[in-house]
Amino acid sequence: MLSHHIVRITRASRGFATHANSTLPSPIPAVLHLKTGQSFKGRSFGAPKSIFGETVFSTSITSYTESMTDPSYRGQILVFTTPLIGNYGVPLNKTPIDSRDVGVTLESDRIQCTGVVVADVAEKFSHYLAVESLAAWCQRNGVPGITGVDTRAITRLLRDQGTTLGRLAVGPDASAAAPNASDYWDPTTENLVDQASTKQPYVLNPTGDVKIAVLDFGAKANILRALVRRGAAVTVLPWNFDFNKIRDQFDGLFLSNGPGDPNHCMEAAIHLRKTLQEWDRPIFGICMGHQVIGIAAGLDAYRMTFGNRGHNQPVLALASSGSIKAGRVYVTSQNHQYALKLQDPFPQGWEPFFINCNDSSVEGIKSTPQSGKKVWGVQFHPESAGGPLDTIEMFTDFLAECRAHKLQFGSSKNDVMGAAKVEPSLAEASRPVRVSA
């Protein structure tokens, strides 16, 4: 059995090596140019088009489908350090929308990164849920990939010089000269959150017993799934919606992950500062959401050299809260380029919650026990998808606090923005319609 699998995997991994002698068309050339002057020649797969993006690497060894659909990768050319990518194909990206699920199997309804870089793309795939190959999926989504390049060399460069702007030149563009440094598109100059966030509020699991508002900076589906599966009625709001106008209707507030520079989200941080001053129900933020909480609390966010992207980032808990025990190390899933600055002293009413064991960056903040508040932010992704589930119970902790608060202080008002009237669909939510807060 094992040898059978090895043979299959080896055949799949040969990929283009078998092309030369087959009747398949010759591979289309592709080149990855970096703004710093280096170029890597390879072969195209996926959409035969050229793109720009911020070149980042992920050390995750699985879940390429989840990473590529994570809205936090918007504007980025994603380099996988794992050499063989595509061997388990791509599943049908559709689930029911009910108290167990949120409409998509993956992290959103489309590929979000602008391109992918793979050492050895698997043309043959094998998985009981797979419906198409990585290349076919990329092609259908209009996203180009390059394969046959030394991803180890690219990653070592990115580790030394930091995340670098790039150009994936495909087909006839591959033989053209590298772009001038001034021609590289820098996605971080744009407000990517505004592009990724829902334009319309919508509701999931409207009959849930505890009402949670989610500020959507580009939320991963598994975050929404983690909330609805634990019984929450979830109202997803555009990132810059002024939650203060409707906060009496909710038992808790959640701030999601999202792409790009958190300093583009000042509008949300200003609204949140007022919420933190005037509202005492639980608040929880992940990644971008954590950064926005930190900014609202008075901390600064800075750009890291190459960020943390992978599924084995160790974080040390500095305080106990719910399922989290001070002094323990948790292995976490991460995808970020920015972090909150560790400052001494911390703003009044706040304390560090987690610290990264590799680079000592801030991995979490929380309100102090003396503050009387229940607010947490974590830089990592407790919801995983992909990655370890060490901290998944933080969702249970958050909802337990919301329920406890509701029991003690009474229910939120009942009309969750006309919950049942809003179409609970992620595809619907991504329509380009603007609503005013």
Q: Smallest gap, in angstroms, from Cβ of residue 336 to ligand GLN? A: 3
Which entry of 265, 383, 401, 405 is annotated as an active-site residue?
383
In the complex with ligand GLN, which residue's Cβ is closer, 34 or 288? 288
Binding mask 332-351 for ligand GLN (x = CB under 6 A): ---xxxx-------------
Active-site residue flag, 19: no
Counting residues that bind ligand GLN (by CB under 6 A) gives 12
Q: Smallest gap, in angstroms, from Cβ of residue 192 to ligand GLN? A: 8
Which entry of 138, 287, 290, 405 is annotated as an active-site residue?
287
Q: Exactly one of 288, 296, 362, 426 binds ligand GLN (CB under 6 A); which one?
A: 288
Q: Does 257 bind ligand GLN (CB under 6 A)?
A: yes
In the complex with ligand GLN, which residue's Cβ is closer, 149 or 426? 426
Q: What 3 state SS string does 366-419 have? A: EECHHHCCCEEEECCECCCCCCCCCCCHHHHHHHHHHHHHHHHHCCCCCCCCCH
Query: What are the tokens at 77?
Result: 């050319």
Active-site residue flag, 381: yes
Q: Exactly one of 13, 55, 60, 72 binds ligand GLN (CB under 6 A); which one?
A: 72
Among the listed ranges 18-26, 257-265, 367-375, 417-425, the one in contact with ligand GLN (CB under 6 A) is 257-265
Longest dimension (CA), the chain: 73
Cα 389 from Cα 330, distance rounded (Å): 9
In the complex with ligand GLN, which residue's Cβ is closer, 50 or 58? 58
CB 53 within 8 A of CB 77: yes
Q: Exactly one of 46, 89, 187, 259 binds ligand GLN (CB under 6 A); which one?
A: 259
Closest CA to 34 of 218, 306, 224: 306
Helix (H) or strand (E) holding 334: strand 329-340
Q: Smallest gap, in angstroms, from Cβ of residue 258 to ligand GLN? A: 5
- The number of CA neighbours under 13 Å toward the Cβ of 318 is 19
In the complex with ligand GLN, which residue's Cβ is closer, 116 or 292? 292
Q: Does 260 bind ligand GLN (CB under 6 A)?
A: yes
In the complex with ligand GLN, which residue's Cβ is closer, 29 or 307? 307
Which entry of 33, 271, 381, 405 is annotated as an active-site residue?
381
Q: How many residues does the chain have?
A: 437
Cα 268 from Cα 169, distance rounded (Å): 37
Q: Does 258 bind ligand GLN (CB under 6 A)?
A: yes
Q: Smallest gap, in angstroms, from Cβ of residue 308 to ligand GLN? A: 9
Active-site residue flag, 357: no
Q: Does 114 bind ligand GLN (CB under 6 A)?
A: no
First and final C-alpha spacing in the chain = 58
Inter-CA distances, 211 with 87, 181, 234, 268, 341, Å: 40, 49, 6, 20, 32
CB 334 within 8 A of CB 313: yes
Cα 370 from Cα 289, distance rounded (Å): 23
Q: Smallest gap, in angstroms, from Cβ of residue 217 to ligand GLN? A: 7
Place of tokens 């830089």: 379
Place of tokens 């929404």: 224
Q: Smallest gap, in angstroms, from Cβ of residue 343 to ligand GLN? A: 18
Binding site for ligand GLN (CB under 6 A): 72, 257-260, 262, 287-288, 335-338
Task: Give the catalytic positions in this structure.
Answer: 287, 381, 383
